[in-house]
Amino acid sequence: MKSLGVIFKYIRRYPRLLATYFSFNILSSIFSVFSLGMLSPFLLLIFNQGDAMKDLGEKTSGIGSLNPILYFNEWLHNVIIQPNGNIKALLIICIVIFIAILMKNLFAYLSVYFLNPIRNRILNDMRKNMFDKILCLPVGYFTEQKKGDLLSKLSNDLSEVESSTVNVLESTFKEPITILLSLIYLVILSPQLTVFLLIFLPVAGLILGRIGRALKKENKRALQQFGVIFSTIEETLGGMRVIQAFNAEKRINKKFDDENEKLFRYKNQANRRRDLASPVSEALGVTTVLCILYYGGTLVLKGDATLGLNAGDFLAYIAIFSQLIQPLKALSNASYNVHRGAASIERIEALINEPVVIEDPVNPIELKQFQDSIELKNVSFSYSDKAVLRNINLVLKKGKTVALVGSSGSGKSTLADLIPRFIDASEGEVLIDGVNIKKYSLSSVRNHIGMVTQEPILFNAGISENIKLGKPEAAEEEVKQAARVANAAGFIEKKTEGYDTLIGERGGKLSGGERQRITIARAVLKNPPILILDEATSSLDTESERLVQDAINNLMSNRTSLVIAHRLSTVRHADEIIVMDKGEIVERGTHDALMALHGRYSRLIEMQEVK
C-alpha cells in the first residue's frame, strides 16, 4: 500500500531501533508458539496417563520420520516422562510452559518498548517536515490556500495518521511473524488442515479489502470538511468585532451549523464502514474454526496414524489456531486502518511535496553589500491567467526614496513583493547591483531588507523578543535604542514588566499605534540598507502618526526606500513617485512635477484633500 510505503520511508531512518524491535518480536513469537505447542504432550499425558506417547517409536519411522514434533515428543518421553514418572513430568511441563509464557511476555514488552520511539519519531518527523515546508513556501501560496486546511493537516490529519496508520505498526510488523511461525507449526502438525486453512484465508482478505478501499474515500471527504470548519472558526475568531458590530452572529452560526452537519454525515458514513470490518472479520473467523473443527475431527475419529494427527495434536492445533485468529483479525483491522489513514497521508504528502518555486540557485552568490541600485526591467507578473503587473521598468538608486501610489488592486504590493523574492516575475528580471536577484542566495538578499507592513505582524511573546526578531543576538541597550528611534520607548517603559511584557496573540494587548511602533523598532534594530514600507502609518491616530513618521524619516535617511502610500501627504518629499493603475505605471515624477501634469496623481491628491 502506498500509505505504508510513506511510513516505511520514515522508519528507515532508525535502523537500529527497528532491528532491535524485530529481534524481540521474533523471540516473543517463538516462545508464544512453543508454549502452545507444549499443550500436545501435556494433554496426552493427562488423558493417556501411563500409556502416553508409547507409540512414538513407531511414528518416528516411516512417513512421520521427518516430523520434528514427533522427534521432540519422543525426546520428551525418553528424557522427561519415562525417568521421572507422569506426575513429576507433568510438573516439569507446567514449569516449562510457565517460563515460555513469561519469556513471551517479556520480549513482547521489550518489542513495544523499542517500537514507541519509532512511532513517535514518525509523527514528529512528519510534523517537522510539514512545518519546514510551510516556512519554505512562497507568500503567494498562503493567499491561495485556506489557513484552516493547513491547520487541519497539522492537527487532524496527523492525529488520523497516528490513530490509523502509525498505531498499526505493531500489527503490521508483529502479526505476520506470529502468523508465519504458527502456520509452520500447524503445517507440521497437520498439512491437510493447514492447506484447507490457506484456501479459505484469501477469500476473507478479499472481502475485508473491499471494505477498506471504500472507507478511504469516505474518510478523505471528512478530512476535507474538517479543513473547511477550521477555516470558518479561524475567520470567526479573527473577525469577532465585525460580526458583532453587524449583528451577523445568526448568519455565521448558520454557516457553521451547515458545515458541521456535513461533517456529521461524512463521519457517520466513514464510521459505519469502519465498524463493519470487525463483525465481518469475526464471522469469517468463526466460520473457519467450525470448518476446521469438523474436518480435523473427522481425521482424528478415523484414527489413521499415517495422517500424523492424534487427539492431543488436534487440541494443540485448535489452541494454536485460536491464537492465530487474533493476529489475523488484528492484521485485517490494520489493513482497514491503513486505508482509513491513507487519505490523511495523501494530504500530508501533498503539502510536504509541494514544489518550492522560490529557492536558492545551485551555486548562489552572496549579496555582501548593497552598493548601487535595484532595477526592475520589463517585469510582468500573473496569478494563473490574471495579469497583475505589466511591463514594469523602475530603478531605485541607493539612498533614494521611491513611492508607489494608486488605487487598491493596482499592483503596488505585488511590485514590492518582487524585491525580497516573495514572488518571482513571470517575465523580465529584477536586478540588484546589476545582478539578477535569482542568482543571489535568498537569505543574503533578505538580510539587506527591512519591512514594515500596513497590518502590524507581531507574535505572542515579549516586546523585546518581537523587536529582536531580525537580530536575535542584539544587546538590551540596542533594543532600547531602537525603541527610542521608533518613539516606542515611552509606552514600553510605563508597563509593569517593561520590555519583557507579553503582548498576547498578534499583539492583542496593545493598541494599534503601539503595535506599529514595535514593528518599526524591529526594522530599526535590523538596520537594513533597503526599506520597504507598506503605509506604515495608516493605522495610527494623529499624534502617533506624527511620532512614527518622524522616526520613519530618520530611519529612511541614506537608505534605499520603497514606500507604498495610501496617504499621499506622507510621500510628498519622495525622490520619485510612481503612479500605478491596473498593473501599469501611468505616471512618474516628483510631487511638483506630477501636480503640474494635472493627471491621475493630482486627482488622487484632490480627492484626499476633499475628504
Where along the chain do its domains lie? Answer: 2-352, 373-610
Candidates 93, 111, 98; CA nearest to 29 is 111
Question: Is the CB of residue 403 less than 8 Å from the CB of residue 579?
Answer: no
| Whole-structure pTM value | 0.69
For the chain, give the percent of residues with pLDDT over 90.
Answer: 10
Residue-wise pLDDT tens digits, 522-555: 888 888 889 888 876 665 566 666 766 776 776 6
Q: What are phi and psi of 338, to 5 degrees?
A: -65, -40
Residue with cell 467450525: 290
Residue-wise pLDDT tens digits, 134-182: 888 877 777 766 777 788 888 878 887 887 766 677 777 777 877 788 7
- Report in angstroms the alpha-carbon separations of 461 from 234, 295, 304, 533: 20, 72, 82, 24
Helices 2-11 + 311-352 axis angle, to 10: 80
CATH number of 373-610: 3.40.50.300
Per the model's pLDDT, the better-predicted residue between 41 and 264 turns out to be: 264
**Mean pLDDT over residues 87-100, rounded?**
78
- Start-to-end CA distance of the chain, whole Å, equals 65
Hey, which of 6-10, 63-67, 288-292, 403-407 has the most confident mean pLDDT?
403-407
Per-residue pLDDT for 243 more than 80? no
Three-class SS of 32-86: HHHHHHCHHHHHHHHHHHHHCCCCHHHHCCCCCCCCHHHHHHHHHHHHHHHHHHH
Per-residue pLDDT for 121 more than 60? yes
> Domain 2-352 belongs to what topology?
ABC transporter transmembrane region fold (1.20.1560)
Hey, which of 81-85, 217-221, 236-240, 406-410 has the most confident mean pLDDT?
406-410
Tell me what the pLDDT averaged over the chain comes to. 78
Per the model's pLDDT, the better-predicted residue between 545 and 20 turns out to be: 20
Residue-wise pLDDT tens digits, 189-210: 777 777 767 776 666 666 655 6
Per-residue pLDDT for 305 more than 60? no
For the chain, give the percent of residues with pLDDT over 70.
Answer: 75
Candidates 298, 348, 312; CA nearest to 129 is 348
The answer to which of 207-216, 218-227, 276-285, 426-435 has the lowest mean pLDDT is: 207-216
Q: Do domains 2-352 and 373-610 have the same CATH topology?
A: no
Pairing between β-strand 576-581 and β-strand 386-397 as defined by DSSP bridges: unpaired
Cα gap 158→124, rounded to integer Å: 10
**Mean pLDDT over residues 78-89, rounded?**
67
